[in-house]
Amino acid sequence: MLRYTTAGESHGPAIYTLLEGLPAGLSVNAESIARALARRRGGYGRSSRQGFETDAIEISTGLKGGTTLGSPLLIRIANQDNSLETKPPVHTPRPGHADLAGMMKYDTDDAGRILERASARETAARVAAGAVAAQLLHEFDIELFGHVVRIGSVAAKAGDVDDPQKIRDASPFYCLDPNADQAMRSAVDEAKERGDTLGGVVVVESSFLPPGLGSPATWYERLEGRLAQAICSIQAVKGVAFGAGFALGATPGSEAHDEIGYASGAFARATNRAGGIEGGMTNGEPLFLQATMKPLATLRKPLQTVDVKTKQPADAARPRSDVCAVPALSVIAEAVVAFEIARAMC
C-alpha cells in the first residue's frame, strides 16, 4: 500500500517524509520536489521564516541511479531555524491553535511541546511526498492544479483562462484572476496593520483522472472520504467541499445532478456539480474540490487567554507567524490530493 508518514519538529534540525509502497523503477526528480517546496514557501503574507528557510532536501534511501528500488524512500528537509532546545516555555495558549488542547492531552504547561509538531512547518514534508506522488501520476499524464479563489473577503472571479499555470505562477496569491491580486494584497496589508490574520479558500482540480478510482463498496476507500481526510488534516483547514458542495443541500434533485449523455464514443455531462466523484469513485469528469482555511491563530494583536500556571487572564502568545498562508495551502492541498490519487491508482 502506498503511504507516508512525517517526522521532525518545526524548530528541530530537520523534518522528514518516509514514503512506502512506491513501485520500483519510478524516476524521482529531486528538482521537481525542490520546485514544489519553493512554491510552498512563497505567496504574499508569509512570515520572515520563509525568507531564510531553503528547504534543502536529501533523499537518503530508496533510490539507485535516480529510480526507486521499491524500498522505503526517506526524504530529509533541513531546517535553518534549529532553535528547539533553547526556546523558553510558553504558558499562554493561543485560541484557535493546538496549544491548549495539546497541553491538556499531554499534561504539560508548555505549549512549546505541542506547537513543534502542530506547526504548519510539517506541511513541507507533505509537499515533498506529494511531489513524488505527482511524478508517479505524471507517468499516466495525470496533473493536478491548485489555486486560490478567496483571501478573506476578497473573492477571485471564476472563469476559464488561457494558460492557467502561467497566470497562477505570476500571481503573488497563486490566483487565476489578476484583477483580484491588488485587492487581496490590500486586504493582507490591512490585516497586518491591525495585527490580524486572514484565511481563505483554495481549489484543487484535475481534468485527467480515469473513471473508477476509489470504491463504492468499502467505506475507507471511498474517494471523497480519503480526500476529505487528507485535506482536513492540513493545519488550519476547517472545511472541504466537492463540486457544488454545500449548495447541493439547498438544491432540488432535478437541478443537483449531472445528466448523462453519449457523444463521440464517450459518456458526457453538460454540468459537473458532483465535482468528478460519484459513489466514492471518479466518474471521468474533472475533479473539483475546495478547501477553506481559517485565519491563522497567532495574532500580533493577541486574543485573550489564560496563563496556565497562574490561571490569570493574559494575552495569547504571539510567536513569529504568517499573516496569511492561503497561497501555501493551495500547494499543500494539491500535494495531498496528488498523494491520494496516486494511492488510488496503485
> Using CB under 6 A as the criterion, which residues of the chain lie in contact with ligand EPS when the complex forms?
10, 47, 49, 81, 115, 119-121, 123-124, 235, 296, 319-322, 325, 328
Indicate the residue among 311 and 320 with the shorter CB distance to ligand EPS: 320
Indicate the residue among 102 and 243 with the shorter CB distance to ligand EPS: 102
Shortest Cβ 330–ligand EPS spacing (Å) = 13
Shortest Cβ 94–ligand EPS spacing (Å) = 8
Indicate the residue among 41 and 91 with the shorter CB distance to ligand EPS: 41
Shortest Cβ 100–ligand EPS spacing (Å) = 14
Shortest Cβ 265–ligand EPS spacing (Å) = 46
Indicate the residue among 148 and 244 with the shorter CB distance to ligand EPS: 148
Query: What's the rounded Cα separation, in Å, for the pair 128 and 36?
Result: 7
Shortest Cβ 155–ligand EPS spacing (Å) = 23
Task: Indicate the residue whose CB is closest to ligand EPS.
Answer: 119
Indicate the residue among 124 and 175 with the shorter CB distance to ligand EPS: 124
Indicate the residue among 206 and 235 with the shorter CB distance to ligand EPS: 235
